[in-house]
Structure 1
């Protein structure tokens, strides 16, 4: 199972918060998530980046703003450490701010008093999910997260402007057309690709079967005169070819 990245404005899919005593377990989970192309915040990957920086400022940004979900590895050691207490305060503040959407995901490493205090929240435990089971659950949870409504509204507005405004279309270039196509359902995108790959043909078929690009009275005068005029649209790709291309582009 792989994660479907539907949130365009978060730096990380998952932030991991844990005590140093639990690092061996968390390290396995982090590796499994990376193998599934999940963007994670794992402090061991950021040692050089955070060297010399204000950790309180950086961690506050990560846990309050930059992650779609936060998995907290709750244990007796987690409850008595300064940095984990700092992280938990930011995590709970974020969870309280966005009550309608899940953010804080507790994973109980043991049955300590600190862990039992979180039993009013839906938890996974080490008893029912090992490292592999937890990684699978995190990916499943990520794929359940909806795209924010304002993101959809913005994309709908931008696609509308892109169709109507030549200046925006020219500035956007092919990259944004591809971006719009990625978010378009396959059936609609198939029709769009079919319409893009067309060319208009105007002219005349002469009496001897030759083709002329002219339609005037003098057309085909050396080929037996005009037998019939041609004004049609030709498609360079079949509908089936367009459907295959749409399936390779669209995420739907």
Structure 2
């Protein structure tokens, strides 16, 4: 008996194409359910939710194809509609940092005042990054700066390069890290750095690194959650260690 020209069995040719698509959608849903996310956060639900909707529609298609009772279809369709309305009215206007904990409307109403980003942000972030980039680009010579910890966005927004190539510090091996960072600063001639006081993942910088940066970059200015430090002419009133502590807390005197 000759094989069919298209290579498909008679039963496969008789099966509606919609059933093949439904099986494919359910297979993708099953596969992605095995993905291991880097850490537990409610926002990762959104990675899977669209596929759950597609899987629900696929299940309805299979129910029709197998001539199952269709009395459950209105209920399933109602649930899908409810999920869609919930996503539009609750998830979409919410903010990812509080998602799964409480509803908080995203206050992304202010444009970042930067040439390299046409993004909307909160009023606080717009002020912080606008001034931070201005301070770094004014004080960083040679095209390099250090933004640490957990502040890779500063490099893009400012157009300055990282002397270490690190994005998030928890990726770095802790052994010898302080020496590697200081050597990179020396090699690239870095004259200004930004210290993130509220890192999301890596924790504060090592005390030894912060002490070395304070010594190397004695002048400082607080900009939102960042402290900008630079090497330059000593500001009036910040000549000794006691006065310098006041500069660190409130900006350059």
Range of TM-score over shorter length: under 0.3
Structure number with higher strand proportion: 1
TM-score by length of structure 2 reads 0.28
